[in-house]
Structure formats: structure tokens, C-alpha cells
Amino acid sequence: MTPRTALGALHIGALMFGLTGVLGKLAAVSAPIIVFGRAGFAVLALACFAGLAKNTVWYKLSLRDVRNLLLSGLLLAGHWVSFFISVKISGVAIATLGFASFPAFTVILEGLLFRERIRLNEIILVLLVSAGLILVTPTFDLASQATEGLLWAIASGLLFSLLSLNNRANSGRIPAVQAAMWQNAVVALCLLPFAGPGLTDVRPLDWLWIGLLGVFCTGVAHSLFVASLAVIKARTAAVVFALEPVYGITLAWVLFHETPTLRMLLGAVLIIVAIVVSSRMASGPAPGKSELGAGAH
């Protein structure tokens, strides 16, 4: 890839990740079935990508690696299920913005788990995200679907933050695509008992949406991200992926007429600014080893 094509691939990947909530809403099935199908199709897509890539190296897993992949798979499963529950309850825009709160959780948890001092600019980041979330929700009423959906989305962001930190603690040991493939396999196995009884009732059209979600929004998007990191700096990639909520909200606006209010747009701006600031404050891991590799949902 040249820098220009790598940047284009990043934007395509961000757009595909932005489609996640849209396809999840189009699939008229429960969140466990969506997540099971997405993970299953993602495993197939990632396996094909690894098979076609000439420089693929399969890392021999140790017992420690297996434990870490199991934990990552469980966190990823919880993250996806809670996100799609939020999509079903409150719509794509609120679900996407609630999930986008994960940088604030990462700042707080990183300081606690890795005993790193929280700096002033990181406190400002947390305040930006908090203000954005307050603006996104019209009223804080637990009986309101918007509030309930936002809480599920925030839980999704928390689980994603824990997933990122777990990957940070074990980064560099397993190639990104191999790790993603095993994590998705764990997700599929975890969700099979919950999704299995309803699989025979899934319509062909819903399988189409789930297949697109697994192949393009997971397998292809992740592969584009990993491939582009060979050319593009991880910080640049993180800024591009900050556009994911923009793509998601715009698509929901066009397809489902989820017209955002001025208050929601202001909240979205604050959260997106926080994501960009967070990526610029990052220590800048070497290309190919970015924490986002497990990341963008």
C-alpha cells in the first residue's frame, strides 16, 4: 500500500465499522443471534484473509495466550451483546455515541490497573465525554428507552475499554489477525447456547445482514486496518476511526430517519473531540501493534 491508498483503506474500514449499528438494526433478530452470526462469519473472513496474505505467520499459543484469548473473547461478546441491545432499544445514534465513551473509561482504568498518573488533559477528556453523554440523552429517566439504551451503550464502552487494556497488557505476542480470529471463535462458542434455539427461525434476509456484519464490518474492516498500519502511523489511524460515530449517525439519519437534535449533535461533537484528543495523547505504539487492532467495534 502507498500512504494514499492506506488512508483510503482506513476510511473504508471506519465506514464499515460505522455500519455496525445500522446492520444490527436491520436484522430483526435478538442481540445474541446477531453476535453469534457476526462472530461466525468474521472467523471465516479472517481465516480467508490470513490464508491469502503471503506473510501470515501462525503463532503457537501457550497456556497463558489461551487464557488471555478466552478473557478477550468473553469481553468482546459482552461488548457486542450490550451494544446491539442498545441499538434495538434506543436506535443507532445513541448506541454509537454511548459506546464512544470508551476513551474516558480507558483513561480511568489505565491509571488504576497500570498505576499510571492521570494527567490534567486526561481529566479534561473524561469531562468532555461526560458532558457529551449528558447532552446525548434528552432526559435521565430509567423508564425512558433513550436512557435505558444509553446505559447499555455505556456498558458496551466499558467492556470495550477492558478489552483494549487486556490487549495492551498482552500486546505483541500474537499477530493481530490471528488474535481477532480466535477471539471471534470464543464469542461464537459463548453465544451458541443462547442463540442456538432461535437459529432455525432466522429469515434469509436477516442472515444477509448478519453475514455483511461479520464479513465486512468485522473481518474486512479489521483486515484493512491491520494492512494499513504497515504504512500509516497508529495515531493517524486512531483519528480516522474517530469518524466512526459520524458515519454511523449519518447513515442512521438517512436510512431510519433518526434525526438528531441540536443537543445530540453538540454531545456528539464533544465525544468525537474527546476521541481525537485521546488518540493524540496516546504514546504512539509501533505500526501494526496498535491497541485499536482489537478495537474498533
Q: What would the pLDDT profile of 118-177 be if each residue is shown by its tens digit? A: 777 778 878 888 888 888 776 666 667 878 998 999 999 899 888 888 877 766 667 778
Tens-digit pLDDT profile for residues 178-234: 888 899 999 999 999 999 999 999 999 999 999 999 999 988 888 787 777 777 776
CB-based contact 32:84 (threshold 8 Å): no
Report the alpha-carbon distance of residue 124 to residue 104 in Å, rounded.
10
pLDDT at position 237 over 80: no
Q: How far is CA 180 from CA 22, 67, 183, 265, in A?
A: 22, 14, 5, 33
Residue 287 and residue 233 in contact, taking contact as beta carbons nearer than 8 Å: yes
Task: Single out the residue of 267, 295, 265 nearest to residue 279, CA to CA.
Answer: 295
Q: Collect contacts of 290-293 with beta carbons under 8 A, ≥24 apart.
A: 290/229, 290/234, 290/237, 290/238, 291/164, 291/167, 291/168, 291/171, 292/164, 292/225, 292/234, 292/237, 292/238, 292/241, 293/167, 293/176, 293/179, 293/180, 293/222, 293/225, 293/226, 293/229
Show Cβ contacts of residue 286 under 8 Å, excluding neighbours closer than 6 positions.
234
Each residue's pLDDT tens digit, 16-54: 888 999 999 999 999 999 999 999 999 998 888 877 766
Looking at the predicted structure, is the pLDDT value of residue 59 above 50? yes
